[in-house]
Amino acid sequence: MFQKHLTSLEICAGAGGQALGLEEASFQHVAVVEIDEWASETLRRNRGSEGRYGKWNVLEMDVHDLDGTPWRHKIDLFSGGVPCPPFSIAGNQLGADDDRDLFPQAMRLINEIDPPAVLLENVKGLSQRRFDPYRQEIIERLSVMGYTVFWKLLQAADYGVPQLRPRFILVALKHQYAPYFSWPEATGTQTTVGEALLELMSKNGWRGAEKWAAGANKVAPTLVGGSKRHGGPDVGPTRVKAAWKELGVKGTSIAEDSPSADFTTDPKVDMPRLTVQMGGVIQGFPHDWEWAGGKTAQWRQVGNAFPPPVAKAIGTQIRHALQKSKPNSEAEPDNKLQLELR
């Protein structure tokens, strides 16, 4: 039934992290939907009709206005990074009582499209016990639609991303494909900030780059991008800035460019700062991914993105399930977490 390249439709695509990872897992996007003007422009610049890597059908629109019926039974995967404020600490954790909660729209579209597979991601807050009833409601609604549901917290650092970024992942598969799904295994090695950023830090000939990279020998704390109402272009709250300082990075603002050749670093005086491009690399984006908008808008996109390597790892497992094949001998159906509540 399925060809080499499977098809997908993504909502709340942001700057394209999840879509990029799924593309690398051999999914072809029939559409990527995003309401934010600058994130949509980022998608167009990188994957639009004149994008450098090939065309995505970028739809800049509100998901409330999206009709899924034209795609009914025509795509293999429905995916989305539904907004996180309802379940995040920063968003006051209002859950289903928050009008920013787009899970109801996701459920509507899944019902209209009826795809074989679903992938939704959110902040780790959705896994908390206080949201058990809401999470169970989502699982039960998907079950009624004919899906077996899996959910798990995945840590981005386990998949080569140089960042501590736990995310709530929900995968739903039509019952005939569910026995073939298992969660991706961790890579077994972690990429440090120094390893990830050495090339960019030394781009302008900074002579201290290698010494800096040797000291930046841990993964980064979680990048945050703020919201349209709050947050500017910096690495985050005080405790996060302190963690970056231990890595030899000044977190009070975002730099325009990499350090110059004669830049001198001193924790008491000055340290290198991240650029938007570096933030993208910390998230797992390619070095040449182009970010649209002003610095604040760019950093918001970076901080709110889903790491492409994690999306690729999950997408690969979904693809194997849809093709009814095992990625390796250790991937057994009993690894699934059907209707798990913890």
- Region 117-133: mean pLDDT is 84
Which residues form the catalytic set?
Answer: 84
Q: What's 130's DSSP letter?
A: G
100 pLDDT above the threshold of 70: no
- Region 66-83: mean pLDDT is 95
- Burial tier of 68 (Cβ tally within 10 Å: 0-12, 13-18, 19+): buried
Q: Please report the pLDDT score of residue 233 as a whole number.
A: 78
Domain boundaries, the chain: 6-188+306-335, 193-303
268 pLDDT above the threshold of 80: no
Average pLDDT, the chain: 87
Paired sense of beta strands 58-60 and 250-255, if any: unpaired
Please check whether residue 79 is in contact with residue 13, taking contact to mean a CB–CB distance below 8 angstroms. no
Matching residue, tokens 């209002």: 94
Nearest to 257 by CA among 314, 328, 305, 200: 200
Q: Decide which of 311 and 5 is more confident.
A: 311
pTM, two decimal places: 0.88
Matching residue, tokens 């080569």: 160
- Into which CATH architecture does domain 6-188+306-335 fall? 3-Layer(aba) Sandwich (3.40)
- Burial tier of 54 (Cβ tally within 10 Å: 0-12, 13-18, 19+): exposed
Matching residue, tokens 């917290």: 153
